[in-house]
Amino acid sequence: MAMAVRVFLLLFILFSSSTTPSFSLYEDQVGLMDWYQQYIGKVKQAVFHTQKAGRKRVVVSTEENVVASLDLRHGEIFWRHVLGSNDAIDGLDIALGKYVITLSSEGSVIRAWNLPDGQMIWESFLQGSKPSKSLLSVPANVKVDKNNLILVFSKGVLHAISGLDGEVVWEKDFAAESIEVQQIIQPSGSDVIYAIGSVGSSQFDAYEINARNGEFLKKNGAVFPSGFSGEMLLVSDDLVVALDATKSSLVNINFKDGIKFQQTDLSDLEGGSSGTAKLLPLKLKEIFAVEINAFVVFISVTGQGKLEVVDKLSNTVVVSDQLLLLEGQQAVALVHHGDGKIYLTVKLVNDWSNDLLKESTVIDHQRGFVHRVFINNYIRTDRSHGFRALVVMEDHSLLLLQQGEIVWSREDGLASIVSVATSELPVERDGVSVAKVEENLFEWLKGHLLKLKGTLMLASPEDVVAIQGMRLKSSEKSKMTRDHNGFRKLLIVLTRAGKLFALHTGDGRVVWSLLLPSLCNSACTNPTGLSIYQWQVPHHHALDENPSVLIVGRCGQSSDAPGVLSFVDTYTGKEINSLSLAHSIVQVIPLPYTDSTEQHLHLLIDVDQHAYLYPRTAEAISIFQREFSNVYWYSVDANSGTIKGHALKGNCASAREVLDEYCFDSRDVWSVVFPSDTEKIIATVTRKSNEVVHTQAKVIADHDVMYKYISKNLLFVATVVPKASGEIGTATPEEAWLVVYLIDTITGRILHRMTHHGSQGPVHAVFSENWVVYHYFNLRAHRYETSVIEIYDQSRAAANNDLWKLILGKHNLTSPISLYSRTEVVVKSQSYFFTHTVKAISVTSTAKGITSKQLLIGTLGDQVLALDKRFLNPRRTVNPTQAEREEGIIPLTDSLPIIPQSYVTHALRVEGLRDIVTVPAKLESTTLVFAYGVDLFYTRIAPSRTYDSLTEDFSYALLLLTIVALVAAIFITWVLSEKKDLRDKWR
């Protein structure tokens, strides 16, 4: 009997230890619940490195401030560096055949990176006092010498920098000169550097500088009576071309032996056509391109300085920089898009009529038009020249074309996501083929056999790899139907290029993509995508209706630009409808009402605070009219320091005095004006409109009850002294303070105000239920701080124990809540030190709001940290009572703990992290987390652990063995008991 009990206890301990939840991640669990994707963004500069020794690669810089080295065979990233949002790359080149040189921060920082592995070799900071154009000139030779200088012109100073160690050899300051330097030229093999540019609009100056010591050798200047319009292009080592002030004439400027001007009317070159011209900023020699009258005109310069038109093409043609061939010839690529194909033509600069290459490649029309092209050559087996073209498309994708085929492509538009929404997948239909069942049965048996071998520790390394591969390719994970736990969804993301992607949460693959026709067309100039909103979300039984989303954009960069609406089916990725609006869009208010087709009503606010109702249907207007008096909104003007509350007044009239039944005038209900000399708005945040609160009551120690002040109309506002609104350190602790407010947006009432002396921004905040958490910098302590504010409804707790009022129906818990009643509130707050700089902050959300909350903090290291909300409880004390400990209150410390196992992103970095989006799953314990920046990361987390389901790694085999062992133990115990009873009876 005792032996059986010992066996039972041993099995119970083994079973308990195998099912205990753990924060660690096993090797075969990588990618099971999360996925990670790396991107670089829209390429703006590219330099090929295709020498015979070493791997062929292309080094690129992007609009996301990324410098990266890509494999030319597959497009994979060898290495990359994200320089930061304030460190834009101005120039890129390769020096000495082994260093990648980048110039960034408006010419303030120059770095050298090791070409093979991307390690930084040296870094130099360049000083100057005069804002100017940034120019980078890297010598073409690969001679490793101290005298091999890199020339940088920035902030009014010409710097000569050693390519070996980044040391500034000499500087020449042009601050005292009034010249605006346009070009820095050092002819090959010459010890003279030419700095040329304009003074004012008519003076042209050329400085000759000694390349060894930076001394001025000579200055030439001359006045051109017609004036210059701006940019100058270098055509040869002694000739530049500019446009005159009217942009109707070209001016040749020879600057070596005195300044000589030669003017040519464009009408003479163009055969009598007139119009203003634009010089295309291409790096070509002996030829240049001018855009005029929707055409690109290629013009060559003869030996006598005369101009001749070489070719005339549509302005849809994209031209590459010149490519130097082995024979000393120069080639250029022309690319245009049409009929679903990309047409690539390579020409010789000195023999324009001869086409070195002419081919076409079929392209997906969802990629849009060609924006940039970079070419490289290679030698074929027959010793002829072959060419490869790196093409940047309108949707920011990157393609490598070779021999009429797409060698590889990258969806780098996903590095610039501006808005995210989610969509449910279709319901799984009944009826499955027998073949599919048999295949699934075989895979099921094979998978369980491998898992059993893994559980019994009999799996070989190949079996472990197979187990991981089967988990990653699990049909349950990547199916295109919804699951009962709500883990499988579509992430609908909008990029800065105006392209919509649907990403599957199972493995991150692109299900469909759509370059929005309403935003990306010729009628919409400078399109800007604003945000995505849920438009139609049919009930789960309405299988004949597909859900759709609303994409709001504008045709222009300014706030008064006309708006554009696009309605997209989330299952098929097709645009259902689009509207080009006559009014602007500065704010979109999703209303909590739907019509009979389950379309959500939206109010679109223009720059004049007129409200427009969509959809524009009779049913929508009838629903809206019933709730007309309950519609309020607010607007924040950070420049003037004003927050205003608005309500509807009546229909607005058009220019013809005709009432528009879908347009409404607004009236100002309240306003809060912050004094401009002491407070500047730097952050505002409010609750999510779809957040679910499980209960308003909060049971605290000694069985007392506090009632949360729950309102979707609360606004958190943070202001600082204008002097402290810049970077950290711009103001002293005595000069800086941070003020935070909780404002009711219906009445304008300030419910709470608190001042943090000696503190400043930036402020990142998140608002959930009745609490707000915000992060800022404490100048006195020289550390970051995180504060929490919780607001409670005191009036509802005042008569909590009055039973007779509750029986008679006079208790305040039974009375309706109105924001116009002056509710008595009580606020609790606490501050803690926090180690990390914060880039984004969010909070977990679940289906019913029962699960405890976790804060998701995006750190400066581009990782996501999960922090339990209990650490930010304002009721924490140094020595909590026994009742408070039972409630779960943690003893007070001055700093928030950072647990290494709490990093949601594990060891990964979401480079350029911008935002963290949380989506509730149907399973109450689980939250879906999507973090995006230059990279994308997705996972699902359980803040209170998976209390309502078994984990993915639950050992069913061990459970089966435990049950068998328990049955055997029971049988053995019964036999032993029977024998013992028999022996006792014989006694």
Cβ-based neighbour number of residue 852 at 10 Å: 12
Look at residue 437 and tell me whether its pLDDT is greater than 80. Answer: no
- pLDDT level of residue 427 (50, 70, 90 thresholds): confident
Reported as a single tens digit per residue, the pLDDT across 160-182 is 998 888 899 999 888 878 888 88
Sequence-distant (6+) residues with CB within 8 A of 748 are 645, 669, 670, 671, 672
109-118, 132-141, 781-790, range with the lowest pLDDT: 132-141
Residue 317 one-letter amino acid: V
Compute φ and ψ for 190, nearest 5 degrees: -100, 150
Res 144 pLDDT > 70: no
Question: Tens digits of per-residue pLDDT, 299-331?
Answer: 888 777 788 888 888 888 999 988 888 777 888
- Mean pLDDT, residues 30-36 taken together: 79
Separation in Å, CA 737 to CA 723, 728, 787, 939: 10, 12, 15, 38
Query: Which of 212, 248, 228 shows the shortest CA–CA distance to 180?
Result: 228
pLDDT band, very low/low/confident/very high, at 900 (cuts 50, 70, 90): confident
Work out the pLDDT band at 143, boundaries 50, 70, 90. low
Q: Are 87 and 65 spatial neighbours (Cβ–Cβ below 8 Å)? A: yes
pLDDT at residue 432 tops 60: no
Reported as a single tens digit per residue, the pLDDT across 61-111 is: 999 999 999 999 999 999 999 998 889 999 999 988 889 999 999 899 999
Classified as helix, coil or strand, 309 is strand
pLDDT at 15: 43
Beta carbons of 334 and 358 less than 8 angstroms apart: no
Q: Quick check: 93 and 103 in contact, CB under 8 A? A: no
Residue 47 has pLDDT above 60, yes or no: yes
pLDDT for the residue numbered 958: 80
Please report, as a single letter, which amino acid is at residue 872: L
The closest of 783, 673, 780 to 717, measured between CA atoms, is: 673
∠ Cα 980 985 987 (to 5°) = 100
pLDDT single digits (tens) 730-755: 888 888 999 999 999 999 999 999 99
Label residue 25 by pLDDT band (50, 70, 90): low
Average per-residue pLDDT in the chain?
84
Buried b or exposed e, range 110-121, using 16+ CB within 10 angstroms:
bbbbebeebeeb
* Pick from 921, 956, 738: nearest CA to 847: 921
CA distance 562 to 530: 12
3-state secondary structure 600-648: EEEEEECCCCCEEEECCCHHHHHHHHHCHHHCEEEEEECCCCEEEEEEE
Q: Give the burial string for 861-877 (b: 16+ CB within 10 Å, else e).
A: ebbbbbbbbebbbeebe
pLDDT over 80 at 607, yes or no = yes
Q: Is the pLDDT of residue 866 over 80?
A: yes
User: Contact, 196 vs 153, CB < 8 A?
Assistant: no
927 pLDDT more than 90: yes
Whole-number pLDDT of residue 14: 44
Whole-number pLDDT of residue 223: 87
Give the burial class of 946: count Cβ atoms within 10 A of its Cβ; 0-12 exposed, 13-18 middle, 19 or more buried: middle
Q: Report how far apart the first and last C-alpha atoms of the chain are (Å, whole number).
A: 20
Q: How confident is the model at residue 1 (pLDDT cuts 50, 70, 90)?
A: very low
* pLDDT band at 494; cut points 50, 70, 90: very high
- Residues 249-260 have pLDDT tens digits of 888 888 887 888
| Residue % of the chain over a pLDDT of 90 | 40
> Coil, strand, or helix at residue 701?
helix
Q: Is the peptide bond before 187 cis (omega within 30 degrees of 0)?
A: no
- Cα separation of 503 and 512, whole Å? 8
CA distance 152 to 92: 12
Domain layout of the chain by residue ranges: 1-18+955-987, 316-410, 429-477
pLDDT digit string (tens) for 259-272?
888 888 887 777 65
Q: Which two tokens stand for residue 712?
A: 């979707």
Q: Of 180, 163, 185, which Cα lies nearest the Cα of 97?
A: 163
pLDDT given at position 862: 92
